Amino acid sequence: MSFLNKNIINFEPKIIGLDLSDLSVKVFQVEKDGGHDVVRGYGSVDIPLGNIDDGRIINESIVAEAIKSVLKLPSAKKINSNKVICSLPESKAFVRIITIPKMSEDEAKEAVKWEMEANMPMSLAEVYFDWQFLKVDSDGKKQHVLTVAVSREIVDSRMSVLTLAGLDAYSLEVESIASIRSLVNSEAVRGEISLIVDLGARRTSFIIADDVVPYFTSSIPFSSESMNDAISKTLNLSSADAEKVKVNNGIVNAGDGNPIFNAVSPLLENLVTEIMKTMDFYGEMSKRPKGVNKIILCGGGSSMKGLAEYLQQRTKKDVSVGSPWINLKTVDKLPTINKETSVRYVTAIGLAIRGMNYGN
């Protein structure tokens, strides 16, 4: 499900994924080569603090220059298109599944609008929204509908900055949908419920995926930066060195007086609490007795050594760092990009996969 889809003129459009967050812009392009998917190019550039604040673009010219510069990086030099699918911030999106009586799509238009407005913190006049039918209940009487709404201000500013950067936006897509496309195996056993925990630089997003459909999303202030700050202050390290020890040493042997674990323990305790609350909330809403099957970590914070093992012990769930290549047929043609780096590109890769299959 995407916003502002454009009709394609040629049969094989070349469209790149562009992930625009508060502190960075990432690009990724994937294309088909026979029966394989090939990574054509990728790159990431930092955006100075204060130019995007909680998804709102404050300084369009600086953000546009960052977008231009990322396309000139050596790792992105093979990217051969100005057509993009751009991310929309999860914190500014309202993603929910609603239930209405079984009816045709034409009949559903007004019913969906009424249900959305009744359950959203904003009026429909303030947002762009989209929806699509999902499954029908076994009794054939109720229809489940995936709904997405995003503030008009956020969407319009994205379109403006992409135009300023010389790019042609073919679609805008909420981060959760791109992340699920990247991380959840499309051939997995039906009925599997995943909780994606995206540990970003400024916030952490929770995404509940029912198969490959986003059930609901939420965000909390916990961030990769907050862990770095705690390590930096406790161990008297620079921010850069704090990031290094977080990745290289982490919280392995947390029970043996690990100073890194001691520094971030209060933060991790809050994270565990929020994860448990999210899983409980899903269980209450869905009425599913089994609840979440597994937790998938991504984002820069997921690179902390020992974090997946710690969360698995605390939540009693299967916890792993996600692989954004799970739905790509890359064989041995992966770019030179390590696992720690690839989980930072999850959203961009999901958008790039959408671009590769645009129009299908």
Residue 39 is predicted with a pLDDT of 86
Q: What's the mean pLDDT in 97-105? A: 88
The H or E element containing residue 11 is: none
Q: What's the mean pLDDT in 17-44? A: 90
Residue 32 is predicted with a pLDDT of 83
Q: For 325, phi and psi rounded to 5 degrees? A: -100, 0
Output the CA–CA distances (angstroms, integers) from residue 315 to 280, 290, 293, in the order listed. Answer: 12, 14, 11
36: pLDDT strictly greater than 80: yes
3-state SS, residue 57: strand
The model's confidence at residue 268, banded by pLDDT at 50, 70 and 90, is: very high
The model's confidence at residue 231, banded by pLDDT at 50, 70 and 90, is: very high
Outline where DSSP puts E strands in the chain: 15-20, 24-33, 36-46, 52-53, 56-57, 83-88, 93-101, 127-136, 142-151, 168-174, 193-199, 204-210, 213-220, 294-298, 318-321
Q: What's the mean pLDDT in 22-35? A: 89
The model's confidence at residue 189, banded by pLDDT at 50, 70 and 90, is: low
179: pLDDT strictly greater than 90: yes
197: pLDDT strictly greater than 80: yes
Residue 76 is predicted with a pLDDT of 77
Tokens for 92, please give them: 């500014």
Domains and CATH numbers, the chain: 15-89+154-185+324-356 (3.30.420.40), 92-151 (3.30.1490.300), 193-321 (3.30.420.40)
Least confident of 14-18, 62-66, 135-139: 135-139
Residue 333 is predicted with a pLDDT of 58
Residue 42 is predicted with a pLDDT of 92
Q: What is the mean pLDDT of the chain?
A: 88
Q: Are 195 and 275 in contact (CB under 8 A)?
A: yes
Q: What's the mean pLDDT in 56-71? A: 96
Residue 290 is predicted with a pLDDT of 73
Residue 27 is predicted with a pLDDT of 96
- Long-range interactions of 132-135: CB distance < 8 A, separation 24+: 132/1, 133/105, 133/108, 134/97, 134/213
Residue 177 is predicted with a pLDDT of 93
7: pLDDT strictly greater than 60: no
Residue 10 is predicted with a pLDDT of 53
CA distance 84 to 190: 31
248: pLDDT strictly greater than 70: yes
1: pLDDT strictly greater than 60: no
3-state SS, residue 248: helix
CA distance 359 to 173: 15
The model's confidence at residue 232, banded by pLDDT at 50, 70 and 90, is: very high
Residue 304 is predicted with a pLDDT of 93
11: pLDDT strictly greater than 60: no
Highest-scoring range by mean pLDDT, 87-101, 268-282, 322-336: 268-282
Q: What's the mean pLDDT in 97-118? A: 89
Q: What's the mean pLDDT in 52-63? A: 95
Q: Could you tell me which residue, 10 or 107, shows the higher pLDDT?
A: 107
The model's confidence at residue 149, banded by pLDDT at 50, 70 and 90, is: very high
3-state SS, residue 150: strand
The model's confidence at residue 87, banded by pLDDT at 50, 70 and 90, is: very high
Residue 135 is predicted with a pLDDT of 80
CA distance 232 to 235: 6
Least confident of 54-58, 135-139, 229-233: 135-139
- Considering Cα of 334, then 336, then 338, then 343, what sign does the dihedral take? negative
